[in-house]
Amino acid sequence: MGIIFETSLGVFLLVTVFLGGGAAYMAGRAVAMTWGSLGHLVVYAVLLAAAARFIHFSLFGGTLLSLHYLLVDLIVLLLLAGLGFRLTRARQMAGQYGWLFERTGPLTWRERPTAARPEN
């Protein structure tokens, strides 16, 4: 038993990072595409963390009601969900509001300078 994983590193990577993380990333994208809030994303990540904990318990002999490992799963899933959310939101802001915002990186955008804006 480790601090981050309970049964083995391979099980943690499979269940939490790949399966749960993939679902969390897609949930982050879906929340961003529907212009949802980060509050919705947190609720979805908590549900996914509970599902990942159940898979650890039912298939690999982990503990179901372990607050420590639930929080570890939740942190990993929140990071991946936030990544999906932020990547999609940056693309949305620069794409749909290109006259107001420009991308400054994969996760960020900024307001365009006033000289670059078209006059009404």
The string of pLDDT tens digits covering residues 96-115 is 888 888 889 999 888 888 75
pTM (2 d.p.): 0.85
Which amino acid type is present at position 59?
L
Q: What is the pLDDT of residue 47?
A: 97
Tokens representing 55 are: 């898979």
Cα 21 to Cα 64, 84, 88, distances in angstroms: 19, 10, 16
d(CA 112, CA 27): 29
